Amino acid sequence: MSNPKDYQVSVEELAALMKRTAGVQVDPAALRQQSDAGFESFGLDSLGLLGIVAELEKQYGLGLPEQAERCKTPADFLALVNGALKTGV
């Protein structure tokens, strides 16, 4: 397991997770460009985001804040998740 403090979730990783856990195909460049657009606009529903949170928690071996699954946009989600990974909370 990598040290959480060394690790940040990239847009590319988020795109890969969206594909793997929710079957949603999204181009990382588009995700980066429209990172303030709602997850629904990429075809990801709330259960899909819940699955991504669970995957990240498994991968990093820690619990993410409850607000993570309520984030509306990729930008908000990555900011929150990466903030939590940095502090290791």
Partner 1 sequence: MSAGRRPRAVVTGLGVVSPHGVGAETFWKAVADGTSSLGPVTREGCGHLPLRVAGEVRGFDAVETIEERFLVQTDRFTHFALAAAQLAMEDARFGRADIASPYSVGVVTAAGSGGGEFGQRELQNLWGHGSRYVGPYQSIAWFYAASTGQISIRNDFKGPCGVVAADEAGGLDALAHAALTVRGGTERVVCGATEAPLAPYSVVCQLGYPELSRADEPDRAYRPFTAAACGFAPAEGGAMLVVEEETAARERGAEPRATVAGHAATFTGASRWEQSRAGLARAIQGALAEAGCRPEEIDVVFADALGVPEADRAEALALTDALGAHARRVPVTAPKTGTGRAYCAAPVLDVATAVLSMEHGLIPPTPHVFDLCHDLDVVAGRARAVEPRTALVLSRGLMGGNSALVLRKGA
Interface residues with partner 1 (CB under 8 A) are 19, 21-25, 43, 47-48, 50-51, 54, 57-58
Nearest approach in angstroms of CB 78 to partner 1 is 20
Nearest approach in angstroms of CB 68 to partner 1 is 13
C-alpha to C-alpha distance for 71 and 77, rounded to whole angstroms: 5
Helix H or strand E segment including 29 = helix 28-33
- By C-beta, is 37 or 50 nearer to partner 1? 50
In 3-state terms, the chain is what percent helix, strand and coil (to 5)?
Answer: 65, 0, 35
- By C-beta, is 43 or 83 nearer to partner 1? 43
